[in-house]
Structure 1
Amino acid sequence: MRLASQSALVALATAGHAAVISPSRTSSVPEYFQTSFGPWAGPTEAGAPPFLAQTNPAPFGNPTYIPNTPVVTDVPIPGRSDGAEIFKLMGNLSPYMPNPSGFGVNEYPLPAGANITQMHMIHRHGSRYPTTGNAVASLQDRVSELLQGGARFKGDLEFLNSWRYELGKEELTALGRQQLFDSGVLNWFNYGRLYDPSKPLIARTTSQVRMLQSAENWLNGFFGPDWTKNVTLEVLIEATGFNNSLAGDKQCVNSNNDRSSAGDTASSEWQKIYLKNATERFRRSMTGHANWTVDDTYNAQTMCPYETVGLGYSSFCSLFTYEEWLGFEYSLDLSYYGSNSFGSPTGRAVGVGYVEELVARLQRHFPHPAEGSVAINETLDDSATTFPLDQSLYLDFSHDTDIMSMLTAMGLTQFAQFLPISGPPDDQQLIVSHIVPFAGRFNIEVIKAPQPVRAKRPQNAHASAYESGEETTYVHMLMNQRTIPLGRSLKECGDRDDGWCELQTFVSALKENIPKAKFDESCYGNYSVPAYGDITDGAI
């Protein structure tokens, strides 16, 4: 384990007191090449930090400003209706977007007098190149093999005769860096006033390159280029055998073997169904005796999102119909449901460490996991230096599969609906692109209200949202800027219009869900490999 900065936390200058900066007398760099603020920088004054999460009267209206996107996503797709966009159908490979349809509950502003006092964020890294061993990288060898065997591509596939694989590996693309920077800016507007300059923060990420890049770009967006004056970045080792709640799969053996592979098996079966016509179409666009398979077609389809976020445009995108892109999304939904969520025997266990930490932070004490069920780093989580308990902002960075498991470990059964291999069910809830797209995140707000807030919000804007009673503290959870209705999964929270849950009720519900992970048995048990559909509650 290492800290990004081993020095003591650096306090900001007190507001209103300027720091005197003298020109260096020993620097060999000419003055005109020095970029630090010098004696001629001119006067500045910081404005008040924003607090849109609390003050916005319309939390999720229509966008009034749509920035230019640096990548080409307006691709002509056969069968696409007006307004439909395939880049919202790419599961975990989708570029970031707010959830387009919500989670079944309306968005409400805070009632007058209520205050957000704390925010807990867990954030996925931004758009990246393929990971090591990803099958998509094998497509060039496959195409070369066919060409060397005498095959030639024609029609829409003609570009493959000269196509080359040009993607990197593992790290963020430029778009990924932008996504995290933009998210930092967005979260500053929403929660900037929660930051106390007299108390620099500890934020956490993992040691993988893209995780460090993501945290640093987000913090740059939130605080600006001098973010190291505001926060110390704690870097948790992400490697097999190291306890790390932000990468729980590394300490859960059975999450990395066949016992947690049912989702991938189900996805492969679905690919044979929805890509049958596409595979035949590809074969008709080849000459020679090419043995083009469904796996080849799926790799070609997967190349579309990867090339788009890495190179800005991909010729592979328009090779598939809109219906086939709907099928692509569902292939990833099946994979995540069966390998990382309620359909996996390790679905809860991989994410339960973060839930233990969340409960501890909400109650302001160090985590106390059950004997023999350690899903956290007990050394780091038992020190106020590395696991502070008095922050108003908790900022953590993790991976898509881990975040999916965290939601499972919380017991958010809204996403436990079984997904059949034959095709999407009605009212499908677990849609990966809505939950963990590139740069996906959830924010948990702690809200103090002077009185209980009515479960049924008044329709009259002038009517009070309060009922009689004492001060009450609530939890409001957002996933990609849309509210998760906590009562739909945690029945103790009740059926509320706003999806909120009373804090103590929420904490009690999480505590009840922690042992359901069966951490030791699920992660280290020598049980038979479950078939897809055998597991429905995220644990063995």
Structure 2
Amino acid sequence: MHWSSQLLLVGLAATSYAGGVGASSAIPDYFQTSFGPYAGPTKAGEAPFLAQATLLAPEYHSYKPNTPVVTDVPIFGGPKDAEIFKHMGNISPYLPNPSGFGIDEYPLPSGTNITQMHMVHRHGSRYPTSDASVATVSDRITELRGNGTNFTGDLSFLNDWTYQLGEEELTALGRQQLFDSGVLHWFNYGRLYDPSRPLISRTTTQVRMLQSAENFLNGFFGPDWTRNVTLEVITEHPGFNNSLASDKECTNHNNGKSSAGDDASTQWQEIYLEKATRRFRQSMTGNQNWTTSDTYNLQTLCPYETVALGFSHFCSLFTWDEWLGFEYANDLSYYGGNGFASPTGRAVGVGYVEELIARLQQHYPYPDENSIAINKTLDDNATTFPLNQTLYLDFSHDTNIFSILTALGLKQFAEFLPISGPPPNRQLIVSHIVPFAGRFNIEVIKAPRPVLAKRPHGSQASAYDLNGTETTYVHMLMNQRTIPLGQSIAECGQRDDGWCELQAFINVQKENIIKANFDESCFGNYSTPKYGSVSTGTV
């Protein structure tokens, strides 16, 4: 458990400082505006020049203004309105869940009020991480050109192509996504904010996490947002406990024991990219030592170049079925690495669950099993872990959010995903859950009487059980669509609206905290599980 006063930016403190060593100014550390030692590696990419880019092949004569990036590229074999950017897994640009999670949306009955909202928000579109395999494409293309390979046909642009992406930090689109989300949340929840009680909002020290929180809060409150909220910046680095980046503290998540999802994804890539790999080899002269991994890296450049530069020639190299295959490759990776098929799936997310239950019950988290999934110093202090807010605004990563959903016991995402191809009507679709700027919201709703599980039809019929008394519910939304809690938690009941009575939700989550088996999952000496041998999100 590591903490210092540098982790909290107080009052009107500038919001970019990550806490830490080497401040060069006489200004106290907690007022510093520069990034600190745990900001992570970053590199700005090349500036886009979309106005000068050749976006359409000569046979396409139509023109559409870009808004701001170009995603309506022609894709072979797909429907007329094919939108591949809805099928790019965790690197999809944000969109509200297009199909929902198997339940209809219902309005609040008259007299019922949202009294509290808990949000966990992913950062916006970013450049690739410094260790991403897609960043090796430049060296690979340079190597092939140096060996005499010439690219022809659809790949001819690679003869003079250069890699222009940066590392880690948000792109302009990512900043817009978070600002827009802040505006959206202001419209949805602005009245929950009490101006007499400024908020504590939490993020981590990585640059994209700070940028995301700042842009969201600017959208929510406006440019003077530091008058309304203090941004608490928690160190994200191995050896520091942080419920918003718990993978850093879970040893077995980082030593290969949770690699089954990536292994399954790699096997699926060999299946769905077999034809594409052959096509690309036929468009090369000379050295043709081209692998499926090379093909997958080219495919991954499509979304990354688009969110950074506005357009990518790599997108139309792949067919509609190959983009659906790309989506499923991401699903396999998250299911086996952070979901119910991972031995650390629950453990990485359980820290936030502990904090959520503590906030709902208005006491500091003291888990019975003495979990260290939380930062106990920060979470035992009213300054850094307030219990009386009506809005809780936290910022995290896609993998961490996915593990939070696993730790919450949302078993509708626990269906086994075969390596041979996607099952019909699967619920686990990563682009619907943790796209760039994805988020979940948990609303606490007070009703004067119990709300009927079967909502009546007709505007004149009462939605209440008139024999009951005041009842409090939890309503969970993922990317603006309801998660039906009863599908995963039997104690919530099968309700039309997907809600769950608050106390039932709390009781089940206390059990889920224990089920995460944090110490054994993260630090136990067990053999690396094979894909499919784990189904509960823990060892």
Structure 2 length as normaliser, TM-score?
0.89
Aligned in 2, Cα 1:172/1:4: closer, same or farther, shift over 3 Å? Answer: farther
1:336 and 1:370 mapped to 2: Cα distance?
29
The one-character-per-residue Cα deviations of 1:269-315 (angstroms, maximum 9, x if unpaired) are: 00000000000000011111321100000000000000000110000
What's 2:62 paired with?
Answer: none
* 1:339 has 2:337 as partner: yes
Aligned residue for 1:199, secondary structure, equals coil
Aligned residue for 2:345, secondary structure, equals coil
Aligned residue for 2:365, secondary structure, equals coil
Within a 5 Å distance, the mapping from 1:377-416 to structure 2 comes to: 377-416=375-414
Q: CA deviation at 1:3?
A: 4.1
AA in 2 matched with 1:513:
N
Q: CA deviation at 1:445?
A: 0.4
Q: CA deviation at 1:372?
A: 4.0
2:361 and 2:434 mapped to 1: Cα distance?
27
* 1:314 has 2:312 as partner: yes
What's 2:9 paired with?
Answer: 5
- Could you tell me whether the CA contact under 8 Å between 2:7 and 2:235 is conserved in 1? no
**Identity within the alignment, %:** 73
Q: CA deviation at 1:509?
A: 1.0
Q: CA deviation at 1:415?
A: 0.3
Aligned in 2, Cα 1:269/1:76: closer, same or farther, shift over 3 Å? Answer: same
Within a 5 Å distance, the mapping from 1:293-332 to structure 2 comes to: 293-332=291-330
What's 2:508 paired with?
Answer: 509
- Over 3 Å off, 4+ runs: 6-10
* 1:99 has 2:97 as partner: yes
Specify every segment of 5 or more residues in structure 1 that has no aligned partner in the other structure, as ranges: 11-66
Structure 1 length as normaliser, TM-score?
0.88
Q: CA deviation at 1:512?
A: 1.1
What's 2:353 paired with?
Answer: 355
* 1:473 has 2:472 as partner: yes
AA in 1 matched with 2:521:
S
The one-character-per-residue Cα deviations of 1:377-436 (angstroms, maximum 9, x if unpaired) are: 000000110000000000000000000000000000010001000000122111000000
- Could you tell me whether the CA contact under 8 Å between 2:11 and 2:226 is conserved in 1? no
Within a 5 Å distance, the mapping from 1:49-198 to structure 2 comes to: 69-198=67-196
Within a 5 Å distance, the mapping from 1:143-292 to structure 2 comes to: 143-292=141-290
Aligned residue for 1:260, secondary structure, equals coil
Moved more, 256-265 or 80-89: 80-89
2:127 and 2:321 mapped to 1: Cα distance?
26
AA in 2 matched with 1:5:
L
The one-character-per-residue Cα deviations of 1:26-85 (angstroms, maximum 9, x if unpaired) are: xxxxxxxxxxxxxxxxxxxxxxxxxxxxxxxxxxxxxxxxx9721000000001102221
2:284 and 2:476 mapped to 1: Cα distance?
51
Q: CA deviation at 1:5?
A: 2.6
Q: 1:461 aligns with which of 446, 449, 459?
A: 459
Q: CA deviation at 1:371?
A: 4.1
What's 2:59 paired with?
Answer: none
What's 2:39 paired with?
Answer: none
The one-character-per-residue Cα deviations of 1:9-32 (angstroms, maximum 9, x if unpaired) are: 99xxxxxxxxxxxxxxxxxxxxxx
1:370 and 1:165 mapped to 2: Cα distance?
51
Q: CA deviation at 1:354?
A: 0.1
AA in 2 matched with 1:110:
L
AA in 1 matched with 2:348:
V
Q: CA deviation at 1:6?
A: 3.2
AA in 1 matched with 2:483:
I
The one-character-per-residue Cα deviations of 1:342-388 (angstroms, maximum 9, x if unpaired) are: 00000000000000000000000000123442100000000110000
Q: CA deviation at 1:118?
A: 0.2
Aligned residue for 2:244, secondary structure, equals helix
Specify every segment of 5 or more residues in structure 2 that has no aligned partner in the other structure, as ranges: 15-64
Q: CA deviation at 1:531?
A: 0.4
Q: CA deviation at 1:341?
A: 0.6
Q: CA RMSD in A?
A: 1.3
1:69 and 1:330 mapped to 2: Cα distance?
27
What's 2:489 paired with?
Answer: 490
1:167 and 1:4 mapped to 2: Cα distance?
32
What's 1:18 paired with?
Answer: none
Q: CA deviation at 1:132?
A: 1.2
The one-character-per-residue Cα deviations of 1:473-512 (angstroms, maximum 9, x if unpaired) are: 0000000000000000001000000000000011111111
AA in 1 matched with 2:481:
R
- Could you tell me whether the CA contact under 8 Å between 1:354 and 1:376 is conserved in 2? yes
1:438 and 1:82 mapped to 2: Cα distance?
25
2:153 and 2:12 mapped to 1: Cα distance?
63
Aligned in 2, Cα 1:431/1:175: closer, same or farther, shift over 3 Å? Answer: same
AA in 1 matched with 2:216:
W
2:281 and 2:499 mapped to 1: Cα distance?
53
AA in 1 matched with 2:9:
S
- Could you tell me whether the CA contact under 8 Å between 1:9 and 1:200 is conserved in 2? no
Count of aligned pairs: 484
- Could you tell me whether the CA contact under 8 Å between 1:3 and 1:233 is conserved in 2? no
2:444 and 2:11 mapped to 1: Cα distance?
31
Aligned residue for 1:245, secondary structure, equals coil
The one-character-per-residue Cα deviations of 1:133-157 (angstroms, maximum 9, x if unpaired) are: 1000101111111111111000000
2:522 and 2:533 mapped to 1: Cα distance?
17
Aligned in 2, Cα 1:415/1:113: closer, same or farther, shift over 3 Å? Answer: same
Moved more, 78-87 or 399-408: 78-87
- Could you tell me whether the CA contact under 8 Å between 1:372 and 1:520 is conserved in 2? no
- Could you tell me whether the CA contact under 8 Å between 2:75 and 2:82 is conserved in 1? no
2:513 and 2:427 mapped to 1: Cα distance?
23
AA in 2 matched with 1:106:
D
1:429 and 1:99 mapped to 2: Cα distance?
12
